[in-house]
Amino acid sequence: MSKLNTYEDAVAAYEPVLGLETHIELDTRTKMFCGCSTTFGGEPNTQVCPVCLALPGALPVANRAAIEATIKIGLALNCSIAEWTRFARKNYFYPDMPKNFQTTQYEEPLCEEGYVDVTVDGKPYRVEIERVHLEEDTGKTLHVGGATGRIHGATESLVDYNRAGIPLVEIVTKPVPGTGALAPEVARAYVTELRDIVRSLGVSDVRMEQGSMRCDVNLSLNKPGAEWGTRTETKNVNSLRSVERAVRHEVRRQSALLDEGIKIIQETRHFQEGTGETSPGRSKEEATDYRYFPEPDLAVMEPSREWVEELRASLPEPPRQRRERLQAEWSLADKEMQSVVNADAVELIESTIAAGAASSSAVKWWLGELSRRANEAGEELGALQITPAQVAELQGMVDDGRLNDKLARQVIDGVLVGEGSPAEVAQKRGLEVVSDTGALEAAVDEAIAANPAVADKIRGGAHAAAGVLIGAVMKATKGQADAGSVRQIILDKLAG
């Protein structure tokens, strides 16, 4: 176990320089170089053909839709699109890579020189994009015999090539200096923004938990004013939270080493989800030599300017611009909007409003009760088993006086476990507000009779004391009464 500095000490003494490399699987119908389906979760080795299994003699043909999607991503990231570009082979042996080379791009990426703007703690940061290129994904390896399913300790591995050859877009930032102590937050904000941009384009479902978006985090430290330090590359950081944690951990770990005068070695590290730490990859005896060369089996690409402009014209409103517009439409303060964004609730709220809820109600449900439920369950908000339409329906029932807040929360319980729509749950569980005035008046009479002293106080003008009687009535009606109506009945009965 390596020694760690506290984060505060680390960033007081050193300046971090960030770099992020993100891989995004495109959701084209077919793979990058063959016609196999890309559907997630198929039976092992059922979505393979001579091309993506690298059978002798098979040849690749590039998927036009993947090229278009990559150009769109490049444009959305403010990149320039190459006028001449091609694929290259990256040669290395690994069993999940059927050809033992990856078809990727080397010196001539499809898109270059862009940027993504993010705001952290009210401060703007521009993360510059070095390149966006297109390549192919690898198969999936299952490690058997080890305790944890990890490669270490495994006695054998099993390979499924369904994922091999799915188009993968690699997005590489330039080094990002100047973030200081906010490096972890800037890293997270960038990855979040990138995800939102790509999602808005509809070219990938960008689900980190499913692996359709994967992040490698580069980090180096230097003393203020000194040259940049040696960076480490932490692989496969697979949630937004992990991005932040990985940066934080590397800052703490590297600073402790530097304090002791130990040089950082340029190495690949692995993020451990359980501990939040990074661990070194197996050090290679020899430096990897990928022997890149232009892919002779594929034609070069010259995306025409007309094509690029057509794609540019098809881009949706950028998420950042859209957020600013929605914030104004929903009349939210900066901080509230930030909470909405942090909770990943923009689209949920937007859809809830579209389904008929007032913006204030939509924000209230998603940021309040539903966020709490998601936290408790350790899930993303969007993963909750309730749809924006159901939230709007729920709010409608509240507005109609059929549910009070407490009942509404109980209805949510039912919806989340799949009992049906809010109306169905309310009906099945008998959760409608008691609107039978006769029944309510009887309950109030009973409460007054049981609490003569309190009743007298109220008669004497101490209206606040009504709370005790309301509580008693609510208890008697099992909470299915509307508190406002009960209060009114009590005050009417005890008036004068």
**Closer residue to Zn ion in complex, CB, 164/332:** 164
**Closer residue to Mg ion in complex, CB, 170/277:** 170
Looking at residues 114 to 143 of the shown chain, list those that interact with other proteins (rule: CB under 8 A). 138, 141-143
- The helix or strand, by DSSP H or E, that contains position 216, with its residue range, turns out to be strand 213-222
Torsional sign, CA 479, 480, 483, 485: negative
Pick what 170 binds: Mg ion, other proteins, Zn ion, none; C-beta below 5 to 8 Å, kind-dependent: Mg ion
**Closer residue to Mg ion in complex, CB, 170/393:** 170
CB of 300 to Zn ion, least distance (A): 23
CB of 233 to Mg ion, least distance (A): 12
Pick what 161 binds: other proteins, Zn ion, Mg ion, none; C-beta below 5 to 8 Å, kind-dependent: other proteins
- Separation between Cα atoms, residue 419 and residue 412, nearest integer Å: 10
Looking at residues 229 to 258 of the shown chain, list those that interact with other proteins (rule: CB under 8 A). 235
**Closer residue to other proteins in complex, CB, 83/317:** 83
- Separation between Cα atoms, residue 241 and residue 378, nearest integer Å: 12
**Beta bridge mates, 137:** none
226 near other proteins, rule: CB under 8 A: no
170 near Mg ion, rule: CB under 5 A: yes
Contact present, 375 and 381 (Cβ < 8 Å): no
Strands 213-222 and 88-91: what pairing?
Answer: unpaired
Q: Which stretch binds Mg ion (CB under 5 A): 163-171, 272-280, 302-310, 466-474?
A: 163-171
Contact present, 12 and 161 (Cβ < 8 Å): no
CB of 234 to Mg ion, least distance (A): 15
306 near other proteins, rule: CB under 8 A: no
158 near other proteins, rule: CB under 8 A: yes
Q: Which stretch binds other proteins (CB under 8 A): 283-291, 331-339, 368-376, 467-475?
A: 283-291
- Separation between Cα atoms, residue 382 and residue 208, nearest integer Å: 13
CB of 56 to Mg ion, least distance (A): 25
216 near Mg ion, rule: CB under 5 A: no
- Separation between Cα atoms, residue 393 and residue 164, nearest integer Å: 43
**Closer residue to Mg ion in complex, CB, 203/403:** 203
The maximal CA–CA distance of the chain, rounded, in angstroms, is 98
- Separation between Cα atoms, residue 3 and residue 251, nearest integer Å: 12
Report in angstroms the alpha-carbon separations of 452 from 116, 447, 455: 68, 9, 5
In terms of C-beta density within 10 A (0-12 exposed, 13-18 middle, 19 or more buried), how is residue 355 classed?
Answer: middle
52 near Zn ion, rule: CB under 5 A: yes
Strands 268-272 and 232-237: what pairing?
Answer: parallel
Looking at residues 438 to 457 of the shown chain, list those that interact with other proteins (rule: CB under 8 A). none
266 near other proteins, rule: CB under 8 A: no
Any idea what DSSP says for residue 114?
A: E
58 near Zn ion, rule: CB under 5 A: no
**Closer residue to other proteins in complex, CB, 36/466:** 36
53 near other proteins, rule: CB under 8 A: yes
Looking at residues 5 to 44 of the shown chain, list those that interact with Zn ion (rule: CB under 5 A). 34, 36
Any idea what DSSP says for residue 208?
A: G
Query: Cβ of 354: how many Cβ atoms within 10 Å?
Result: 12
Please pick, from the candidates 123, 291, 325, 372, the single residue that binds other proteins as defined by CB under 8 A.
Answer: 291
298 near other proteins, rule: CB under 8 A: yes
Residue 21: half-sphere exposure toward Cβ, Cα within 13 Å: 13
Please pick, from the candidates 160, 170, 216, 350, the single residue that binds other proteins as defined by CB under 8 A.
Answer: 160
**Beta bridge mates, 118:** 125
Residues that bind Mg ion (CB under 5 A): 170
